[in-house]
């Protein structure tokens, strides 16, 4: 793509880069001038590479290659949606932050749900459990997911007063509008069940995923809520980071993997470790970059 690149913009950008201003800061300033985020990042990328090679581009027209933005390393610039406070306001209750990890961006939360809410969610979900289906990456068809070996169901957004209460808490904590959320999924793992390492963001490898991204934007973050104490095993393992989160009733793990450029963080790869004893019940909320529009 060729963009207009006036002399004063060129000089301003090159001066900043040579002075060591972080590319993210420059990108943000371009965005503040109404340059779309992806384009701003691509322009800064292109000029930064040229400056690094000792050949600042001439003013006039700039040849910008936008593809590297998607392919480029994940820009880890966005702070955790939850903020930095040790205790968070979830609207109708307060939630403690027990631990944070910078990359992938993870926060372990305590007391997102109380014991009665966990039990009620399980009771609502139990009669509707079914073998978990996922989209087959090859065919795009729904298939029973061998690698997950759990049973699950989806609530519709706002389906019951309890579901709505939980969705409002997540909205309050993350600042991400409730409408961006997919319906809560409840999963039950029995002993031996697990989910193998995966990303929650959608790989555009099949038509179903591409259409979903088109409708609702990419998935950008996940709240996994633990509905019971697991006797043994069943941790949520961030395999690249080497972090294991213990499943404790009412706790939750929030992790974030999408940025404003539409990139997805591969460092967010995670798994549900095999349950060794007892059952594991979780409720998962996936959040999108835009309003979630289910498949018609
Ligand atoms: O079972 C877990 O702890 C993780 C679940 C998960 O990764 C998911 O539902 O996407
Ligand atoms: Fe996941």
What pLDDT does 64 receive?
79
What pLDDT does 252 receive?
98
What pLDDT does 14 receive?
85
Q: Which helix (H) or strand (E) holds 217?
A: none
For residue range 29-74, list pLDDT tens digits in order: 888 888 877 778 778 878 876 776 667 788 888 887 665 555 678 8
36: helix, coil or strand? coil
Nearest CA to ligand 1 atom 7: 271
What pLDDT does 114 receive?
98
Q: Does residue 203 contact residue 224 with C-beta atoms inside 8 Å?
A: no
ipTM: 0.99
What pLDDT does 145 receive?
56
Domains identified in the chain and CATH numbers: 2-71 (no CATH), 87-288 (2.60.120.620)
Residues of the chain with pLDDT under 50: none
Atom of ligand 1 nearest to the CA of 253: 3
- CB-proximal residues (5 Å) to ion ligand 2: 200
Going by the DSSP 8-state scheme, the letter that residue 264 receives in this structure is: B
On the 0-12 / 13-18 / 19+ scale of CB atoms within 10 A, 146 is exposed
> Which residues lie with the beta carbon below 6 Å from any ligand 1 atom?
195, 200, 224, 236, 270, 272, 282, 284
């Amino acid at each position: 793509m060729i963009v207009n690149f006036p002399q004063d913009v060129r000089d301003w950008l090159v001066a900043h880069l040579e002075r060591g201003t972080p590319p993210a800061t420059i990108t943000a300033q371009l965005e503040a001038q109404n340059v779309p985020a992806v384009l701003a990042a691509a322009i800064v990328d292109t000029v930064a590479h040229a400056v690094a090679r000792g050949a600042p581009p001439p003013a006039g027209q700039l040849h910008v290659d936008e593809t590297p933005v998607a392919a480029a390393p994940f820009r880890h610039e966005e702070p955790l949606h939850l903020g930095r406070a040790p205790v968070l306001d979830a609207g109708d209750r307060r939630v403690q932050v027990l631990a944070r990890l910078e990359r992938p961006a993870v926060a372990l939360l305590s007391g997102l749900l109380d014991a009665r809410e966990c039990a009620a969610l399980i009771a609502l979900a139990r009669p509707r459990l079914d073998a978990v289906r996922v989209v087959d990456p090859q065919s795009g068809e729904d298939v029973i997911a061998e690698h997950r070996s759990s049973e699950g169901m989806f609530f519709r957004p706002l389906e019951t007063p309890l579901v709505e209460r939980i969705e409002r808490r997540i909205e309050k904590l993350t600042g991400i509008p409730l409408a961006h959320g997919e319906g809560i999924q409840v999963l039950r793992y029995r002993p031996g069940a697990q989910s193998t390492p995966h990303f929650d963001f959608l790989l555009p490898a099949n038509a179903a995923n591409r259409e979903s991204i088109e409708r609702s934007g990419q998935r950008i973050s996940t709240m996994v809520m633990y509905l019971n104490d697991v006797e043994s095993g069943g941790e949520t393992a961030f395999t690249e980071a080497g972090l294991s989160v213990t499943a404790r009733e009412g706790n939750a793990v929030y992790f974030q993997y999408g940025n404003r450029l539409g990139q997805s963080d591969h460092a967010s790869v995670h798994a549900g470790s095999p349950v060794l004893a007892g059952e594991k019940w979780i409720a998962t909320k996936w959040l999108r970059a835009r309003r979630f529009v289910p498949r018609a």
